[in-house]
Amino acid sequence: MDDLIKQAADDLAAARNVVALTGAGISVESGIMPFRGKGGLWEKYDPMEVAHIDAFMRDPARVWSLLVKDMKETLDTASPNDGHKGLAKLEAMEKLSTVITQNIDGLHQAAGNTDVIEFHGSFARQRCMDCNQIYDTREVDISEIPPRCSCGGILRPDAVFFGEMIPQDAMWRSRQAACDCDLMLVVGTSAVVQPAALMPVYAKESGAKIIEINPEKTPLTHEISDYLIMGQAGEIMNGIMSRLESR
């Protein structure tokens, strides 16, 4: 693994425009449960029952009680880990321009990244369904379920539920960023959720190098990624940044 970490540091040093695509794996070390895979939230709940927009519209109190309330309690105390901090350092070094994230936790922004495309929106914000006012999830009072806006409207996560479209701006900007970069870091994503999983494909087709950081192989590993560094995001990013910063 040390040889691959050195290679990644060399490739990042030579890159002009780095973009990162991140998934749930980068936030696991911050105590945020993934939705998919072993131990994921969808082993506990049927996503069509708690995360579909029709379920929310039919009974927002139930979805808040089963899903959103627990997510809020997790996000209230979660903080960026070394994986997030490593990407923020890359931006500070003027290497990384954009983070495309499938995550809904707001931890990239908390770590210091300034251009974060939230492909699926964010649970770190709540939006009034009547007036569209935005609230920081940490500041929302959940003594009443569902919580309400000052105008009386019901608050909902400012995220994409099943049955809703990916925001067109996020789609367009993600594809543009992927096509413009010369190196893409793919960190902590299973690469099975479309259309986010297409971003490394677009980058590769545009000539970018793809470095994958994941605990296991993904559909990208053999045909799209130039190489895979297998392990936890925080440890690997620490190793890469240590080599970069010592140059």
Residue that is last in its domain, among 159, 185, 220: 159
Calculate the CA 219 to chain-centre distance.
Answer: 18
Q: Distance between CA atoms of 108 and 233, rounded to whole angstroms?
A: 13
Give yes or no: residues 241 and 208 share one domain: yes
Q: Which helix (H) or strand (E) holds 182?
A: none
Which CATH number belongs to the domain containing residue 2 in this structure? 3.40.50.1220
Q: Are residues 65 and 95 in the same domain?
A: no
pLDDT of residue 206: 97
Q: Indicate whether 27 and 148 sit together in one domain.
A: no
pLDDT of residue 37: 57
Distance CA 68, CA 125 (A): 11
Write the DSSP string, 18-69.
EEEEE-GGGTGGGTPPPSSSTT-GGGTS-HHHHSBHHHHHH-HHHHIIIIIH
Same domain as 134, residue 55:
yes
108 in active site: no
Structural domain total, the chain: 2
Q: How far is CA 164 from CA 17, 120, 160, 161, 189, in A?
A: 32, 10, 6, 6, 21
pLDDT for res 44: 72
Give the end of a domain, one of 159, 182, 216.
159
pTM for this predicted structure: 0.92
* 46 and 133 fall within a common domain: yes
Dist CA 33 CA 204 (whole Å): 30
Exactly one of 52, 84, 108, 120 is catalytic; which is it? 120
pLDDT of residue 66: 87
Number of H helices, E strands in the chain: 10, 9
Q: Mind listing the pLDDT tens digit for each residue in 99-151? A: 999 999 999 999 999 999 999 999 999 999 999 999 999 999 999 999 999 99
Average pLDDT in the 207-212 region? 98
Q: How far is CA 167 from the centre of its chain?
A: 15
Tell me, yes or no, whether 172 and 225 share the same domain: yes
> What is the domain-level CATH number for residue 153?
3.30.1600.10
Q: Which helix (H) or strand (E) holds 226?
A: none
Per-residue pLDDT at 40: 60
Q: Which residues are registered as beta bridge partners of 186?
A: 21, 212
Domain co-membership, 87 together with 113:
yes
What are 98's strand-pairing partners? 19
Three-class DSSP category at 148: strand
Let me know whether 243 and 127 are in one domain.
Answer: no
Same domain membership, residue 238 and residue 155: no
Question: Do residues 27 and 53 both lie within one domain?
Answer: no
3-state helix, strand, coil in the chain (%, to 5): 45, 20, 40
Q: How confident is the model over 161-168, as a mean pLDDT?
A: 92
Mean pLDDT of 29-51: 73
Residues 198-226 as b/e (b if ≥16 CB within 10 A, e otherwise) read ebbbbbbeeebbbbbbbeeebebbeebbe
What is the residue-averaged pLDDT of the chain?
92
- What range does the domain containing 207 cover? 1-32+80-120+166-247
Distances (CA, A) of 65 to 22, 58, 78, 240: 28, 14, 20, 41
Q: Show Cβ contacts of residue 120 under 8 Å, excluding neighbours closer than 6 positions.
A: 102, 103, 104, 159, 160, 166, 196
Backbone phi, then psi, for 23, in 5-degree steps?
-135, -170
pLDDT band at 190 (very low <50, low <70, confident <90, very high): confident
Q: Are 27 and 127 contained in the same domain?
A: no
Picking from 109, 143, 159, the residue at the C-terminal end of a domain is: 159
Q: What is the pLDDT, as a whole number, of residue 38?
A: 60
Which residues in 88-108 are b (16+ Cβ under 10 Å) and which e? bbbbeeebbbbbbbbbbbbbb
37 and 114 inside one domain:
no
Confidence class for position 71, pLDDT limits 50, 70, 90: confident
